[in-house]
Structure formats: C-alpha cells, structure tokens
Amino acid sequence: MIVLKATQAQYEALDGYRNGDNLLKFAKDGNDNWIVGTAVLNDDAFAAIHDQLNALERIEYVPVPEPQNEIE
Amino acid sequence: MALGLGIVVYWATQSGPAAAIISAFKSRVIADGGTVESPSCAKSDVKFLLDNPAPSTYDADYQAVLDRSTALGYTAPSPAQQTLQNTLVTDLKTAGVWDKLDVFYVFATDGDSNFATLNWKAPSSHQVTKVSSPTFTADSGFSGDGSTAYLDTNFSIANDATNYTQNNASAFTYFVSDLSQTDFVAYGARNDVDPNKVRNQLRMRSTDYRPAINDDRPIIAADYRSNNWHHQKRTTSTGFTTFLDSTSFTNTISSKDISDLDFSMRLLTLHFKTTGGTSNLFASAEGTMKVFGLGEALDNTDLKDAIDTYISAL
C-alpha cells in the first residue's frame, strides 16, 4: 500500500490542518516516518492544501511493530 | 384561477420554510378550484399557518439531532430515513436503552458524512472528527484506509462518561468486514502505562478475537470477523460477556480502574497511550462501521433488535 511521507518540515506545516470536522493527522509508520494515507488527496475537505499534499513523497506502507505484550 | 393581490405579493416576498408553507397553501387553493374568500382572508390564513407551525412528529431527542444538523448546515437524511431513525430512537427508549447511553453514533445514513458525525445522545457534544479522510458511503457508514484514516469520538471514558463505569459498562458496534484484512482494530482506547494497564477495545484477527472492556486483553482463538454485531458488556468485576450475531461467550478477567482511560476513544483504529504519549496503534480498519455506542451495561437483545431493524430497513 502506498502512503504519503512527510519530512519534519512538511509535517510541522500540515499536521493538524482542520476544515470543519475534518482533521489531517500524520502517524508514525514502522520506520518512524510521518505518514498519511493517499485518500487525503481526493478529499474536498483538504482541497486548500492539496498542492502541499501532492508534494509529499510516495512510499510503501510499513506497519507499526506489535507491542511486546501483544505477542503470544 | 385568481389569487388575490395581497396573497400573491405576500407569497412573493417569502423564502425558505415560509415559502413552502405558502406554496402548500396556494396548492390547496388551486386544488379547491381557486376559491379564495378574499385576499385579506387568505393572508390571515397564511399568517396563522406561519405563526402556528405543525409540531414535529418526531421524538424530541431525534428532533434535536435534526436541529443540530440544520444549525451546522449539514444535509439531513431523506424524509423516509428520518422516520426510520426516529423509530430507532423510540425503540431504544421503549427498551430502556436510551437513557443508559453516553454516546451513540449512527454512521449508516443517507444524510451527508457530516450528519453522520453527530452524537445522537448529545448532538452538541462529542461529535466525531474525521481524521485523514476515512471513506463515507451513504447508507453504509465509514471505513478506514488500512493506514492512517480513522474517526475520533473526542470522548474520554475517564473524563466524559456518566453512565459507563468500571463494572457496569457496554461498548457495541455494527461493523462489516470484507475479510480482506486479517488483523485490525474496530475501536479502542488502551493505556499501556504501568501500574494500571487498561483498555476498551475490539481487535479482530483471522486467528483470534481480542475484546476488552475495562481490563487487559482476553484472547479467544476464533475468527469472528464475519460477525457484524459486537457487544462487550461488563456487569461485574470478575468478567464480561461478548455478544455476536447469534452467539455469546463470557471471559473471566478482572476489571481495572478506568481513570487512566483519560484520552479519546477512537474508531477504526486503537488509541494507544504509552509513557511517550498517545498515538494510533495498527493500521486503520478497512471494514465499514455502521453504528457505535457506549454506555452502562445494556440489554443485548433489545439493543441489537433495534439496530438490526434500522440497518435492515436501509
């Protein structure tokens, strides 16, 4: 699955952008990258920042490691 | 057919609900053959209608949801679905469920995605935030994207619950998985900080099922992803019962203090607190959530029947 990766500067510029009850939040992937799903590129709620979102790097999604106490 | 000058002028200056009322009045006059006693009489009739609108036929609590939607400029459901939703509320009230709820979200609606975010139990509070573009499908609900999209209820069990307590609690969802995702969390808030690790979650895997309600993770070796109905109910400190589509089971596991669940319940993911702060754990669930709610321990049959009746009518 392809996701969008933000640099620290891009993260700081975009994270927390809000339009009504829509919010843009990055999450850390398994490689400690700030990522967000590609669905934000087609969401009218984020139209005002689509240019900045389109500038994010496309990378393959890496799941977050399972916490130790979840492992059998 | 000739309407009096007064009514025509009056009608032409109206808009919105007033115009609708006057238009309806005009239609009746036309249907009656165009007989209007006098322009002044017609005008006074219309004024009476405007000053005395027909009272809502909906339950007051459902009407409050519609009113909130109107105030926020959202698109409300179709009239036919409003009737269904009103019935859902009255069914829950008749069953004694409604008053026990803290939050109640109905995502399966033909209103817009904004209407779907409203908390029916208290429409002006704990409205869901759509985070990073979860997909909304009319009459179906919200689904995640397998990575970062989710819903945030902005409802903290520790800080906001009035009915839900440590040993008297229910959490339920109507969730449809296409089984393509082998490991996901439908909803959850989990504190992983010692000394009081506690969670309310529903994690489903192809190999096991991990419900929790004010405890720390029972694991049941079964694949329940094909079930749509999931209801965790705790009435004692020693265990809780999970209700599924047509079966149920009880886990013996002690409850824990819920005062450390002081961060929001999230849907389609797990809100996870560690010593480093809070974040989401696991990719967002790609299945579709139609309904979610929390409250004190609820009668499963009454709750499920009311929601099944609504969902099956869509």
| Mean pLDDT within B238-257 | 96
Cβ atoms of residues B1 and B34 within 8 Å: yes
Reading the block at residue B314, the tokens are 């869509």
How far from the centroid of its chain's Cα atoms is residue A30's Cα? 13
What residues of chain A lie within 8 A of the CB of B127, using their CB? 21
Nearest by CB: A37 against B130, B149, B272:
B149
Residue B276: pLDDT band with limits 50, 70, 90? confident
**pLDDT at position B23:** 62
Work out the percent of chain B whose per-residue pLDDT is above 90.
75
**pLDDT at position B53:** 61
Among A4, A14, A19, A21, the residue to mutate for chain B (most B Cβ within 10 A) = A21
Three-class secondary structure assignment of B252-313 = ECCCCCCCCCCCEEEECCEEEEECCEEEEECCCCCCEEEEEEEECCCCHHHHHHHHHHHHHH
Cβ of A21 within 8 Å of Cβ of B280? The answer is no
Nearest by CB: B135 against A1, A21, A39:
A39
What average pLDDT does the structure give for chain B? Answer: 89
Q: How far apart are CA B92 and CA B303, in angstroms?
A: 7
* Comparison of pLDDT for B99 and B28, the residue scoring more: B99
Cβ atoms of residues B263 and B156 within 8 Å: yes
**pLDDT at position B4:** 45
Whether the pLDDT of residue B155 is over 60: the answer is yes
Q: What pairing do the DSSP bridges indicate for beta strands B248-252 and B239-243?
A: antiparallel
Identity of the highest mean pLDDT range in A38-47, A58-67, B48-57: A38-47
A16–chain B nearest CA distance, Å: 9
Which distant-in-sequence residues (6+ apart) come within 8 Å of B109 by Cβ?
Answer: B77, B81, B85, B115, B116, B138, B139
Reading the block at residue B255, the tokens are 């409850």
Whether the pLDDT of residue A10 is over 80: the answer is yes
Q: How far apart are CA B313 and CA B311, in angstroms?
A: 5
Name the amino acid, one letter, at B43.
Answer: K
Among B118, B130, B132, B267, the residue to mutate for chain A (most A Cβ within 10 A) = B132
Give pLDDT tens digits for B195-233. 889 999 999 999 999 999 999 888 999 999 999 999 999
